[in-house]
């Protein structure tokens, strides 16, 4: 039995984990669904369904790691792959593609986090210009705007992200532009530090991000070169760690990258969970063994199906 890794070539996170998987005796096959020229075949003979990738029978795959696969070339390919993924009787990390789409619903995440006892900011997602003015007033002029999802936009073949922005009176003057695309609005939460909590199965790795040390990173730490923002291990209270585990589990995920704020008063505020967020940089900068936890989880998933 083997592990199927779905990612693009040159993925440094996969390169970090592969030697650890080999030391654990895991056979793996890496494939990028975005590559052209791949040979994927599904067959039905009587009641038997088979799927082959080149010469590899995917019945040998007992676990799948969805990392950073490229996008399939066109809707026909995408639809075919969706059907194929549903046929694989494998354990998925962090989850199957169909489940990831549901788990990435930011509004549902906020409501679930609140039910689990985490503090959340009041949130409005709207394309109504009038609502922007109301939210700005409720926040006493301290309002942030961000896209409803973290999906990148492609410009000239390069991917770009939208970042969190403080809403100013200048934005209010051009609020009519909001009709063209919805935006997420939240009161600005004062920060002492930001916390990235990486959950791998039942293991929790909190990393403190010193975003308030520089003016350019106070609203969104991703605006700076990550190597210039201090990352360090964080002593997360046990009850908050438990809620992060439970949130990830309730969303049907084996992995989650959770963003929290710790306020100057020491309270933790949940912002969002990314079902497949990056972690390699936080491991490198803070020295937390996330790659070992990922390798352990994947090796256990493969062994479970081969026992």
C-alpha distance from residue 76 to each of 79, 80, 82, 151, 194 (Å)? 5, 6, 10, 21, 41
The pLDDT of residue 74 is 85
My answer on whether 23 and 52 are in the same domain is: yes
My answer on whether 179 and 138 are in the same domain is: yes
The pLDDT of residue 150 is 67
My answer on whether 207 and 103 are in the same domain is: yes
Does 55 map to a domain?
A: yes
Structural domain count of the chain: 3
My answer on whether 89 and 104 are in the same domain is: no
**CB contact at 8 A, 207 and 288:** yes
My answer on whether 129 and 43 are in the same domain is: no
Q: Please state, in angstroms and rounded to a whole number, the distance separating the CA atoms of residues 58 and 86.
A: 12
Q: What are the residue ranges in the chain where pLDDT is below 70?
A: 36-37, 150-161, 216, 221-227, 305-307
Which DSSP symbol is given to 151? Answer: P
The pLDDT of residue 227 is 64
My answer on whether 283 and 172 are in the same domain is: no
* pLDDT tens profile 3-34: 999 999 899 999 999 999 999 999 999 999 98
Does 78 map to a domain?
A: yes
Does 107 map to a domain?
A: yes
The pLDDT of residue 305 is 43
My answer on whether 184 and 204 are in the same domain is: no
My answer on whether 199 and 283 are in the same domain is: yes
Does 299 map to a domain?
A: no
pTM, two decimals, is 0.90
The pLDDT of residue 218 is 72
The CATH number given to whatever domain includes residue 260 is: 3.30.470.20
Does 307 map to a domain?
A: no
My answer on whether 219 and 262 are in the same domain is: yes
Q: Please state, in angstroms and rounded to a whole number, the distance separating the CA atoms of residues 78 and 265.
A: 47
Q: Which residues does 281 contact at the CB level (< 8 Å), separation at least 6?
A: 226, 227, 231
My answer on whether 174 and 214 are in the same domain is: no
My answer on whether 59 and 202 are in the same domain is: no
Does 218 map to a domain?
A: yes
Does 295 map to a domain?
A: no
Does 61 map to a domain?
A: yes
Nearest to 245 by CA among 284, 293, 197: 197
Whole domain around residue 63: which residue ranges?
A: 2-93
Beta partners for 52? 41, 57
The CATH number given to whatever domain includes residue 176 is: 3.30.1490
The CATH number given to whatever domain includes residue 31 is: 3.40.50.20
Helix or strand (DSSP H, E) at 204: strand 203-209
Radius of gyration of the chain, Cα coordinates, nearest whole angstrom: 21
The pLDDT of residue 224 is 60
Alpha helices in the chain (DSSP H): 12-23, 75-87, 97-103, 106-115, 129-138, 169-173, 238-250, 280-286, 290-306
């Amino acid at each position: 039995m083997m592990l199927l890794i779905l990612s693009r070539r040159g993925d440094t996170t996969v390169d970090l984990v592969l030697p650890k998987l080999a030391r654990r005796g895991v056979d793996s096959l890496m494939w990028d669904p975005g590559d052209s020229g791949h040979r994927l075949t599904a067959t039905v003979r009587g009641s038997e369904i088979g799927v082959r990738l080149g010469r590899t029978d995917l019945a040998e795959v007992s676990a799948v790691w969805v990392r950073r696969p490229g996008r399939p070339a066109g809707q026909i390919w995408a639809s075919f792959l969706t059907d194929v993924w549903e046929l694989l009787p494998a354990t998925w990390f962090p989850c199957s593609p169909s489940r990831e789409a549901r788990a990435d619903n930011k509004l549902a995440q906020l409501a679930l986090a609140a039910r689990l006892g985490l503090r959340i900011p009041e949130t409005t997602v709207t394309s109504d210009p009038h609502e922007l003015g109301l939210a700005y007033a409720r926040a006493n002029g301290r309002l942030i705007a961000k896209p409803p999802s973290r999906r990148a936009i492609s410009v000239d073949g390069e991917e770009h992200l939208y970042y969190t922005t403080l809403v100013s009176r200048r934005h209010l003057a051009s609020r009519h532009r909001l009709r063209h695309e919805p935006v997420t609005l939240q009161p600005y939460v004062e920060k002492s530090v930001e916390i990235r909590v990486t959950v791998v199965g039942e293991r929790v790795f909190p990393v403190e991000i010193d975003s308030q040390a520089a003016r350019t990173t106070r609203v969104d730490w991703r605006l700076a070169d990550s190597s210039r923002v201090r990352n360090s291990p964080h002593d997360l209270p046990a009850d908050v760690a438990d809620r992060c585990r439970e949130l990830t589990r309730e969303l049907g995920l084996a992995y989650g990258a959770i963003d929290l704020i710790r306020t100057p008063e020491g309270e933790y505020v949940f912002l969002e969970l990314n079902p497949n967020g990056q972690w390699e940089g936080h491991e490198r900068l803070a020295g937390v063994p996330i790659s070992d936890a990922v390798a352990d989880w994947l090796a256990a998933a493969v062994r479970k199906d081969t026992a």
